């Protein structure tokens, strides 16, 4: 049976070029700083984001955790979105592991945190309060339909951070999706951030790994934090080799994923019983709602699954579909035809 798996872009498998690069990778002990493939990937990532240095880590979750541990000490506070992945989906790791206190602000539908609310959340110097250290943003924003945060917004948050002597970390799991969606250079989009983590293993299709980018001093701290969470990976150049291919060959094609997401969203918007806000669709993530009450989201997802069109139920009557390297325009046609058949029945 044909399977069109739209549950996540984390499902991407290595490209043939990646498999070859992995088989041929030159490796060494990365804890000694001697893996030439990791060293090359780290230099490439830093260069692409316009930062001094970078660090290869096992996952997006680890990238965010080591970044927060590097920026903040115990009892210090971060300001972040109530819908951010770091707050929602990472087990509260920065609090659990680092004693870092989260202060949430409601995300707007476009993924932003309102500027006055950021400013209002910054703590005064008072013996009762934790010290605010860091603002955490997410770009693109997963739970906000993959919406990209633009350069102007980044500059406005940068102004606030400078005025209050705070740092900015960007969870850029899909940072290159944001840059491609906005048509801006990744280093310009990263300019206001003190650190950016981005995933190689989502839309860029590498099997494993994320990068953390920032100043040399920050990356030295993040490297220590990576070691204490067990992330010193020795000859991981076999994995990093795929990351080099990801950065070299897989960035520009993200525009194809975005076009497929838009096509899917437009098709779903025409179907009675489904509701979708097309103005929200800017990258590769599509959320839509089931408005019929004779069917649950779980039932709809099961019916789709039976026909090989796989999507993710995400609660509150919502379903998520994410386009990626293995999804073609024909796959979108197929998914829409399956969906139409179910909704007409």
Spatial neighbors of 248 by CB under 8 A, at least 6 apart, are 44
Cβ atoms of 185 and 179 within 8 Å: the answer is yes
- 15 contributes a contact to ligand TLP by CB under 6 A: no
Q: Which structure tokens are listed for 113?
A: 């945190």
For residues 216 and 195, give the distance between their C-alpha atoms in angstroms, rounded to a whole number: 11
For residues 108 and 81, give the distance between their C-alpha atoms in angstroms, rounded to a whole number: 9
**Type and span of the H or E element at 133:** strand 131-138
For residues 293 and 58, give the distance between their C-alpha atoms in angstroms, rounded to a whole number: 42
Spatial neighbors of 228 by CB under 8 A, at least 6 apart, are 69
Secondary structure class of 38 (helix, strand, coil): helix
Q: At what angle do helices 329-344 and 254-269 cross, to 10 degrees?
A: 20
- 85 contributes a contact to ligand TLP by CB under 6 A: yes
Quote the least distance from Cβ 171 to ligand TLP, whole Å: 5
Quote the least distance from Cβ 172 to ligand TLP, whole Å: 8
Residues 195-234 that bind ligand TLP (CB under 6 A): 199, 201, 210
Q: Which is nearer to ligand TLP, 199 or 254 (CB)?
A: 199
Residues 126-145 that bind ligand TLP (CB under 6 A): 138, 142
Of 252, 250, 267, residue with least CA distance to 329: 267
- 61 contributes a contact to ligand TLP by CB under 6 A: yes
Quote the least distance from Cβ 64 to ligand TLP, whole Å: 6
Residues in contact with ligand TLP, counted by CB under 6 A, come to a total of: 14
For residues 148 and 220, give the distance between their C-alpha atoms in angstroms, rounded to a whole number: 29
Using CB under 6 A, which of the segments 58-66, 182-190, 267-275, 324-332 binds ligand TLP? 58-66
For residues 176 and 140, give the distance between their C-alpha atoms in angstroms, rounded to a whole number: 9
- 284 contributes a contact to ligand TLP by CB under 6 A: no
Using CB under 6 A, which of the segments 24-32, 53-61, 74-82, 224-232 binds ligand TLP? 53-61
Quote the least distance from Cβ 126 to ligand TLP, whole Å: 32
Q: Which structure tokens are listed for 265?
A: 């969203």
Cα angle: 137, vertex 61, 213; to 5 degrees: 60
Quote the least distance from Cβ 293 to ligand TLP, whole Å: 27
- 326 contributes a contact to ligand TLP by CB under 6 A: no
- 8 contributes a contact to ligand TLP by CB under 6 A: yes
Options 26, 43, 89, 217; binder of ligand TLP; rule CB under 6 A: 89
Q: Which is nearer to ligand TLP, 231 or 237 (CB)?
A: 231
- 266 contributes a contact to ligand TLP by CB under 6 A: no
Residue nearest to ligand TLP (CB): 60
Quote the least distance from Cβ 34 to ligand TLP, whole Å: 25
Sign of the alpha-carbon dihedral angle for 182, 186, 188, 192: positive
Using CB under 6 A, which of the segments 25-33, 38-46, 54-62, 146-154 binds ligand TLP? 54-62
Options 57, 68, 166, 173; binder of ligand TLP; rule CB under 6 A: 173
Q: Which is nearer to ligand TLP, 67 or 210 (CB)?
A: 210
Write phi, then psi, for 311 (nearest 5 degrees).
Answer: -135, 175
Strand 4-5, strand 53-57: pairing: unpaired
For residues 203 and 9, give the distance between their C-alpha atoms in angstroms, rounded to a whole number: 5
Cα 256 → chain centroid: 18
Using CB under 6 A, which of the segments 22-30, 59-67, 175-183, 221-229 binds ligand TLP? 59-67
Site residues (CB under 6 A) for ligand TLP? 8, 10, 59-61, 85, 89, 138, 142, 171, 173, 199, 201, 210
């Amino acid at each position: 049976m044909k399977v069109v798996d739209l549950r996540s872009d984390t499902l991407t498998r290595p490209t043939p070029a990646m498999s070859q690069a992995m088989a041929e990778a030159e490796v060494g002990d990365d804890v000694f700083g001697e893996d030439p493939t990791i060293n090359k990937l780290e230099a490439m990532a830093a260069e692409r984001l316009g930062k001094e240095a970078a660090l290869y880590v096992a996952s997006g979750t680890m990238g965010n955790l080591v970044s927060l541990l590097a920026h903040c000490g115990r009892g210090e506070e971060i300001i972040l979105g109530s819908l951010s992945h770091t707050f929602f989906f990472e087990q509260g790791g920065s609090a659990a592991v680092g004693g870092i206190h989260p202060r949430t602000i409601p995300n707007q539908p476009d993924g932003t945190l309102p500027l006055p609310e950021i400013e209002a959340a910054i703590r005064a110097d008072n013996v009762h309060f934790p010290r605010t250290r860091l603002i955490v943003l997410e770009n693109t924003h997963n739970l906000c339909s993959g919406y990209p945060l633009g350069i102007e917004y980044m500059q406005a948050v940068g102004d606030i951070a400078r005025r209050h002597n705070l740092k900015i970390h960007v969870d850029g799991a899909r940072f290159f999706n944001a840059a491609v969606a906005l048509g801006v250079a990744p280093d310009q989009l990263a300019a206001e951030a003190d650190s950016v983590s981005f995933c190689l293993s989502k839309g860029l299709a590498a099997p494993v790994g994320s990068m953390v980018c920032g100043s040399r001093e920050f990356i030295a701290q993040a490297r220590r934090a990576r070691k204490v969470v067990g992330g010193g990976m020795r000859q991981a150049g076999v994995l990093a080799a795929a990351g080099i291919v990801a950065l070299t060959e897989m960035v520009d094609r993200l525009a194809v994923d975005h076009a497929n997401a838009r096509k899917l969203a437009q098709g779903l918007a025409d179907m009675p019983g489904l509701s979708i806000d097309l103005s929200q669709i800017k990258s590769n993530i599509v959320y839509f709602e089931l408005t019929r009450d004779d069917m649950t989201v779980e039932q709809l997802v099961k019916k789709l699954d039976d026909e090989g069109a796989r999507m993710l139920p995400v609660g509150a009557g919502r379903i998520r579909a994410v386009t990626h390297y293995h999804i073609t325009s024909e796959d979108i046609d197929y998914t829409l035809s399956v969906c139409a058949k179910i909704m007409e029945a």
